Structure 1
Amino acid sequence: MDRTDNEVAVITGGSAGLGQALATALIDRGWTIVTDARDPDRLHSALPNGSRVTTLAGDVRDQDHLDAIAAAVARHGRLDLLVHNASDLGPMLPLAEVTHSDFSRVLETNLLGPLALTQRLLPYLIASRGTLVGISSDAAVEHYPTWGTYAASKVALDHLVLTLGEENGIRAYAVDPGDMRTAMHQAAFPGEDISDRPLPESVVPHLLALLAGAEPSGRYRAAELTPIGAAR
């Protein structure tokens, strides 16, 4: 995954967790990164702006913010990778108790925002024969009580990403990273000790292997991918 031709990636939700870990790994490999998050202080602390890093504070539900991301890509003149990582966990409630407004908010963040951003950036991805990635969850294929809102958004994102890939002739992956030691996972299990979950950094080599390889478009579990640099 080392690069010499200034390839460009957009990764949403880059202030923490898997987004930050993946962005850092790609920067170390010579990529130029455009990333965002809602908390500007946390974002700029995690990934300070530089010649190969553009950070944009904002919400993927905000059309003006998506325009700003698209403008940053236009300044680079290319896009090789788009990763939809930003997510809203939503209410951990049985679906019978979820309000319309809460469900709508989660769909706006996890589905409609990614669609709108992809629509803006598709010409660049097509031109570079780039890769589209949606960060999924095992909740998209399993049925866990109280996870229904988040799960519905993720299964829809899987379908969205893979259909966009099929329609536009680009590689597209829906990737389940598995459980990770992140703030979102902790929010799903309040008061529980999640220190046994792997750090997001441990997932990155599996993602890099997928991005560097020739696997066909589809849905993958990170744990089933041989990490880059490992013996096969």
Structure 2
Amino acid sequence: MTKTALITGASRGLGLALARSLATRGWRLILTARGADALKPAADELGALALAGDVADPAHQDRLARAVRDHGGLDLLVNNASGLGAVPLPPLASYPLDVLADLFRTNVLAPLALVQAVLPDLRERGGAVVNISSDAATGAYEGWGGYGATKAALDQISHILAAEEPEVAVWWVDPGEMDTAMLADAVGAEEAAAAPGPETVVPTLLRLIETRPASGRVSHP
């Protein structure tokens, strides 16, 4: 039976790198990202279904869940889409709370909403969830408090889901620093370019997906 994956933030970076590897392994892919202009060529390259939209939008979450059911179910949900928050990275003492609230909607509530929407499909097929976390979830890095708080919340949500849903594997993965547009926005293009490319993280994700170890937090490498 062909396996199906839903990947958010799939138009670039780690989401696209993982999608490319799964496509070579025969997976059926549902890809989403905010920008249709970048998402469509990626999906066309991989023969995937492209559904552009904001994962924090309940209407888009419903649309993705309907697409899953139209494709006959789901084996893998990858919550990769993420926001950075206020830039330049501010200290918590002056963090704009409206921006932080939006960041929690994108980085915490949206992944949980998607899990809730597709959980019956994942349960039926013994599927898995990969939530992309960060070392900022556990480390006290100046300026990263807002982003790190959202990732710490995502870690805890993942941990509880793993306990509550024993038939569904749940991994929350810290990929380490990657040369991505998000990192460049945070630290500058020159420093970001010194980090490994997102494709270097894909083998770690494939190992989880293909060998299905116990649910838990995973750090790369």
TM-score range, shorter chain: over 0.9
SS in 2 for 1:193: helix
In structure 2, the residue matched to 1:124 is 121
Instruction: Report the TM-score when normalising by structure 2.
Output: 0.95
Q: Partner letter of residue 217 of structure 1?
A: S
Gap runs ≥5 in structure 2 = none
In structure 2, the residue matched to 1:66 is 61
The answer to whether the Cα contact below 8 Å between 1:141 and 1:155 also exists between their aligned partners in 2 is yes
| Alpha-carbon distance, 1:53 to partner | 1.1
Change in CA separation of 1:197 and 1:35 when aligned onto 2, cut-off 3 Å: same
Q: Deviation digits for residues 50-79 of structure 1, max 9, x if unmatched? A: 7x5111110011111111100110111211
In structure 1, the residue matched to 2:195 is 197
Gap runs ≥5 in structure 1 = 224-232
In structure 1, the residue matched to 2:145 is 148
Is 1:173 the counterpart of 2:171 in the alignment? yes
More helix by share: 2
1:39 is aligned, of 29, 35, 41, to: 35
Matched residues in 2 for 1:215 and 1:7: separation? 18
Q: Deviation digits for residues 4-45 of structure 1, max 9, x if unmatched? A: x21001110000000000011101100011111111001112
| Alignment coverage as a number of residue pairs | 218
Q: Partner letter of residue 12 of structure 1?
A: T
Q: Which moved more, 1:213-222 or 1:136-145?
A: 213-222
SS in 1 for 2:156: helix
| Alpha-carbon distance, 1:165 to partner | 2.2
Give RMSD over aligned pairs.
1.3
Q: Which moved more, 1:80-89 or 1:39-48?
A: 39-48
Using the aligned pairs only, state the percent identity. Answer: 45
| Alpha-carbon distance, 1:47 to partner | 2.2
| Alpha-carbon distance, 1:193 to partner | 3.4
| Alpha-carbon distance, 1:190 to partner | 2.3
| Alpha-carbon distance, 1:49 to partner | 7.5
Change in CA separation of 1:143 and 1:74 when aligned onto 2, cut-off 3 Å: same
2:210 is aligned, of 206, 209, 212, to: 212
Matched residues in 2 for 1:8 and 1:178: separation? 26
SS in 2 for 1:35: strand
In structure 2, the residue matched to 1:8 is 4
The answer to whether the Cα contact below 8 Å between 2:9 and 2:82 also exists between their aligned partners in 1 is yes
| Alpha-carbon distance, 1:46 to partner | 2.1
SS in 2 for 1:197: coil
In structure 1, the residue matched to 2:20 is 24
In structure 2, the residue matched to 1:137 is 134
In structure 1, the residue matched to 2:78 is 83
The answer to whether the Cα contact below 8 Å between 1:177 and 1:222 also exists between their aligned partners in 2 is yes
